Chains A and B, each alone.
Chain A
Amino acid sequence: AQKITQTQPGMFVQEKEAVTLDCTYDTSDPSYGLFWYKQPSSGEMIFLIYQGSYDQQNATEGRYSLNFQKARKSANLVISASQLGDSAMYFCAMRELSTGRRALTFGSGTRLQVQP
């Protein structure tokens, strides 16, 4: 089974509007971390936001927030007030305690295009 599922290959949003990028995950491990990365056309991977499985509150970092619904195993990224520079690929990733290693498992990504 897919560990990380991003069902939206591509999304469009108007500048200044909010957008939600979906991420669902599959794990039986009670201890895990969820991450979102941005990959602009230049190719680098930029860390955006982190959510731990034991965190009581949803994570926020500036215009980024994570809508964490543990029972539904979803960790959607919300970008408020979209900017043209937000156009990029966005990847959801997870690390589980049961894997015994520190590496991340990535989803296939969502390409976001912000329109003026």
Chain B
Amino acid sequence: NAGVTQTPKFQVLKTGQSMTLQCAQDMNHNSMYWYRQDPGMGLRLIYYSASEGTTDKGEVPNGYNVSRLNKREFSLRLESAAPSQTSVYFCASSETRVWYQETQYFGPGTRLLVL
């Protein structure tokens, strides 16, 4: 059981370049999330998707777009990368239950460096 997978594991971009981070889960979860983690900080929510076909902004959405391609896949796109987007990006998924009991399961993360 792979759980939540992310690709790539590591990426270096130049300022202004674009890229898409891929995330897939095989747990049949409805909800998926993208977080970023900056050094010495906890995770902050970028976007989330409560179900296939829906997406909503989180705490730090500027500079990002997302696509919930199907129930399994949720991608994060940087259209024009900036050094401030250097971070570790985590994808997570959760099964819809009593909402506050939902446990989120995380992927291994993508380390992004923008020069």
Interface residues of A (CB under 8 A from B): 4, 31-33, 35, 37, 42-47, 50, 52-53, 91, 93, 95-97, 101-104, 106-109
Contacts and interface: CB of A to CB of B under 8 A. Distances in A.
Contacts of B41: 108-109
B103 A106 contact: no
A97 B100 contact: yes
Contacts of A97: 99-100
B33 interface: yes
A107 B101 contact: no
A53 B99 CA distance: 12
A53 B100 contact: yes
B56 A109 contact: no
Sorted from nearest, which 8 A-B pairs have the closest CB atoms?
A: A106-B42, A33-B100, A45-B106, A103-B45, A106-B43, A43-B109, A44-B108, A95-B100
Size band of the interface chain B makes with A: 20 to 34
A102 B49 CA distance: 9
B70 interface: no
Contacts of B56: 101
B90 A45 contact: yes
6 contacts: A33-B100, A47-B106, A50-B103, A103-B58, A103-B59, A108-B40
Interface string B20-51: 00000000000101000000111111001010
B11 interface: no
A107 to B, nearest CB: 5
A96 B45 CA distance: 14
Contacts of B99: 95, 97, 102
A4 B42 CA distance: 10
A44 B109 contact: yes
B48 A103 contact: yes
B64 to A, nearest CB: 14
